[in-house]
Amino acid sequence: MRTEWSDLWRKLASQDLMTGEAGESRMVERWAGLARRLDDPGEQRPDPVLEFVLDRLDAGTTVLDIGAGVGRWTIPLAQRARAVTAIEPVEGMWRALQDRLVSRQMENVTIVSEPWSDADVPAHDVAVAAYSMYTSPGLAAFARKMEACSRRLCGMAMRIPAPGGVIGELSETIHGEWHDSPNFVVGYNALLEAGLTPNVFVEPAAARYWTDRTMGEAAARARRHLRLADGRFDGVIMETLERRLVRTGEGYRWPDWMRAALVWWEPGRACEALSGQALGIGP
């Protein structure tokens, strides 16, 4: 049966995963903690997807950073480009970003605290969205607005799900669908269905895995990814985790590796009508 990728994306994006299991005050603490880790030299790691974008900027470039969060990409972009407009509607996130900018005395970033669908911004040279399109049901509309606001390049960074991953297995068991959330497989095919034919840059293989200190923390991670508000499925979750997670000196390591891709295109050059079907990439 042919997969309707745009419908699947809409279904998966209908649940905002950013709220997690915590209340607003806990989420503010979580975002502040993320900002601190980003500023900790000991926590730094290479980001080939971000580097791919940075290599295409110069001192005169203007960049639109959609869904900027606490500035994981915003600050490196601003260090390379002339000016960055950061779109971030979540107050706890944009305030953390603002604090990071002030601490660095960076004045070439403008924060727009509106959702991307409502934001009224002028055209920039480059428009990027790093993992921020996941809560937008209409991916094609998201991409078309990016294109309308970009002169040179559009890019969407997306998570690549691990084939045979634990989360995929649990999602299929509990929800009847292997994809637990929006991701590269669903997004790329949805863009193809919409008539976009973007390029893809995949970060080199890296041995990066989730590790949780306790099985309880691993179960909480699973519930969060599976959008479960209660413990109805804790039995199957614990059975699966005990069977598939690997005990290490740091805790429990998941076999679900972490890897990302950048879906990118030049405005006006990726909108040709497709004569074939969307590619069935992934499971």
Say which residue the tokens 């649940």 belong to.
15
What is the sign, positive or negative, of the torsion defined by CA atoms of 177, 180, 181, 182?
negative
Helix (H, G, I), strand (E, B) or coil at 280: coil
| Stretch 225-247: mean pLDDT | 94
From the CB of residue 72, how many other CB atoms can be counted at a distance below 10 Å? 19
- The first and second tokens of residue 136, run together, are 């937008």
> Are the C-beta atoms of 49 and 261 separated by less than 8 Å?
yes
Residue of higher predicted confidence among 272 and 114: 114
How far CA 169 is from CA of 10, 219, 236, in Å, comes to 21, 14, 11
* DSSP 8-state assignment for residue 131: S
Residue written as token pair 């068991």: 173
Find where tokens 């203007």 sit. 62
pLDDT of residue 282: 39
Residue boundaries of the structural domains of the chain: 5-162+181-205+259-265
What pLDDT is stored for residue 283 in this prediction?
36
18, pLDDT greater than 50: no
Task: Inform me whether the pLDDT recorded for 123 exceeds 80.
Answer: yes
Q: Assign a CATH topology to domain 5-162+181-205+259-265.
A: Rossmann fold (3.40.50)
Q: For the chain, how many helices (H) and strands (E)? A: 10, 10
Residue 16 has a CB neighbour count (10 Å cut-off) of 10
CB 99 within 8 A of CB 28: no
Specify burial of residue 23 (Cβ count, 10 A radius: 0-12, 13-18, 19+): exposed
- Kindly state the average pLDDT of the residues 227-242: 94
Q: What is the pTM of this model?
A: 0.84
Angle of the 234-244 helix axis to the 166-175 helix axis, nearest 10: 150
CA–centroid distance for 61 within its chain = 23
Mean per-residue pLDDT of the chain? 87
pLDDT tens figures, 127-175: 999 999 999 999 999 999 999 999 999 999 999 998 889 999 999 999 9
Q: In terms of Cα–Cα distance, which of 45, 33, 29, 146 is closest to 87?
A: 146
Dig out the tokens for 171 from the structure. 């999602």
Report pLDDT digits (tens) over 63-78.
999 999 999 999 999 9
Supply the pLDDT for residue 208. Answer: 79
Write the pLDDT tens digit of every residue in 238-283: 999 999 999 999 999 999 888 999 999 999 754 433 222 333 333 3
**Rounded CA separation 261/129 (Å):** 12
* pLDDT reading at 29 higher than 90: no
Q: Spell out a b/e string for 179-196, using b for 16 or more CB atoms within 10 Å of the CB, else e.
A: bbbbbbbbbbbbbbbbeb
Paired sense of beta strands 260-265 and 199-202, if any:
antiparallel
CA neighbor of 87 nearest in space, from 128, 137, 39? 128
Whole-number pLDDT of residue 1: 64
